[in-house]
């Protein structure tokens, strides 16, 4: 059973000076603009969540008009000055009256950029817990209570929590101390780590809104910090982390060199060093699986991160037509060829070792030679653009990366 979602849009927004639900953000696919409320409704509908309860209060007329335009009605909080928890109670009361018996998400409208991957992670965790409880019930005959599931990024709790309707009466009868957290005190709580810093980003002030307008444009990619978080969630071993960080560091430095050269020549940079770094970090996230580069692309597409998928899915072998520009995708590919574990290796040496290993296999050697030729062609093309050998950029990047890693180890040992 799909959960319901309570979208809380009853706040006064005194510091913002306008109804937050109607603030425009470029949060639709392809950067399309819409209201914060419309963006959240679109998110949940895209994930199959059709039971959407919008709670209005202050600015009720404009919020309810927007809800009506979305084909939804709103539940009005009769006493919104009591704070956000009173809106939760109004929403839960509406679910009870409607006979809803599943789980529900509590989504403040001023946390509008939550990614689909976060909601999927919560739903997957709920499904796994339900299966675990069913198995335990079959063995012991005792039913376990359903956990409150809270998404976390880098150990910090964010929105939206996923709550069972079994806790509805606790919420409705709670007198308000410590808000929703107080109402759920004593209920089992489980953290669900997600690679989504946007679960922490709210908009209370005009400065917050300005920041979120920028973040909204980056919502369909991951930052380097989020990429590192995803590696940890996927339990990538230390050896894999060293290689991922090395490739990310090289891709980032190549992107910086390319952007600088293009801008100096009067052109648009066309590449983002942070995106190249994130792509390098994630390129081997499915290492160990058959055709791991394609598996990584498919994994990231399932997380609704198609741009990240594009960066990694061809890193084993690719070619670039002369009339197409070098992007972060090609930089991740070349960076991987310079990295043996966390160390620098010239591409001629890397492929030479492959040719030695397959010396008795003519078809394999032919394929290796073809791959080497494509790497060299890209290497030469980038050298022409940046005015230096990309191998030198890579070697220096790896020296800095190695020194930084040693410094981090030393600081941990001192601590």
pLDDT at 160 over 70: yes
The pLDDT score that the predictor gives to residue 245 is 98
DSSP 229-296: HHHHHTT--HHHHHHHHHHHHHHHHHHHHHHHHHHHTTS-----HHHHHHHHHHTTTTTTSTTHHHHH
pTM: 0.93
**CA-CA distances (angstroms) from residue 216 to 25, 28, 281, 313, 387?**
7, 9, 22, 24, 35
Mean pLDDT of 142-156: 94
pLDDT at 346 over 80: yes
224-408: which CATH number, 3.30.70, 3.40.50, 1.10.3210, 1.10.30? Answer: 1.10.3210
Mean pLDDT of 196-213: 97
pLDDT tier for residue 29 given thresholds of 50, 70 and 90: low
| pLDDT, averaged across the chain | 95
List pLDDT tens digits, range 225-274: 999 999 999 999 999 999 999 999 999 999 999 999 999 999 999 999 99
pLDDT tier for residue 410 given thresholds of 50, 70 and 90: very low
User: Greatest CA separation found in the chain?
Assistant: 80
CATH 3.90.550.10 boundaries in the chain: 4-217
CATH 1.10.3210 boundaries in the chain: 224-408
| Helical residues (DSSP H) of 29-160, grouped into ranges | 36-46, 60-69, 84-97, 116-140
Mean pLDDT of 32-51: 95
Asked if CATH classification 3.90.550.10 holds for the domain at 4-217, the reply, yes or no, is yes
């Amino acid at each position: 059973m799909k959960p319901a979602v309570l979208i809380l849009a009853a706040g006064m927004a005194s510091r913002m000076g306008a109804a937050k639900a109607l603030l425009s953000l470029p949060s639709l696919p392809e950067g399309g603009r819409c209201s914060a409320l419309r963006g959240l409704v679109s998110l949940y509908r895209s994930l199959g969540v059709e039971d959407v309860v919008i709670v209005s209060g202050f600015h009720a007329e404009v919020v309810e008009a927007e809800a009506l335009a979305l084909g939804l009605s709103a539940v009005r909080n009769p006493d919104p000055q009591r704070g956000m928890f009173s809106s939760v109670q109004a929403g839960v009361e509406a679910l009870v009256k409607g006979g809803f018996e599943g789980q529900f998400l509590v989504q403040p409208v001023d946390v509008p950029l939550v990614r689909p991957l976060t909601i999927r992670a919560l739903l997957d965790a709920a499904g796994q817990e339900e299966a675990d409880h069913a198995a335990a019930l079959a063995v012991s005959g005792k039913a376990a209570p359903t956990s409150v599931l809270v998404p976390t990024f880098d150990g910090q709790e964010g929105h939206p929590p996923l709550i069972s309707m079994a806790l509805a009466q606790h919420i409705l009868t709670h007198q308000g101390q410590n808000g929703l957290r107080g109402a759920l005190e004593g209920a089992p709580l489980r953290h669900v780590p997600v690679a989504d810093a946007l679960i922490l980003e709210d908009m209370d002030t005009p400065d917050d809104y300005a920041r979120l307008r920028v973040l909204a444009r980056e919502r369909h990619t991951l930052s380097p910090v989020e990429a590192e978080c995803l590696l940890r969630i996927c339990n990538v071993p230390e050896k894999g982390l060293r290689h991922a960080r090395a490739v990310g560091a090289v891709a980032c430095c190549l992107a910086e060199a390319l952007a600088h050269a293009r801008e100096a020549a009067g052109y648009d940079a066309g590449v983002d060093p942070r995106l190249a770094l994130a792509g390098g970090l994630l390129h081997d996230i499915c290492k160990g699986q058959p055709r791991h580069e394609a598996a990584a692309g498919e994994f990231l597409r399932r997380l609704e991160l198609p741009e990240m998928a594009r960066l990694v899915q061809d890193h084993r072998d690719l070619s670039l037509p002369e009339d197409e520009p070098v992007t972060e995708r090609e930089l991740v590919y070349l960076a991987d060829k310079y990295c043996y574990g966390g160390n620098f290796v010239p591409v001629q040496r890397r492929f030479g070792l492959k040719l030695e290993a397959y010396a008795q296999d003519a078809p394999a050697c032919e394929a290796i030679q073809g791959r080497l030729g494509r790497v060299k062609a890209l290497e030469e093309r980038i050298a022409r653009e940046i005015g230096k050998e990309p191998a030198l950029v890579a070697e220096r990047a790896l020296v800095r990366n190695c020194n930084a890693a040693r410094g981090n180890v030393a600081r941990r040992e001192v601590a």
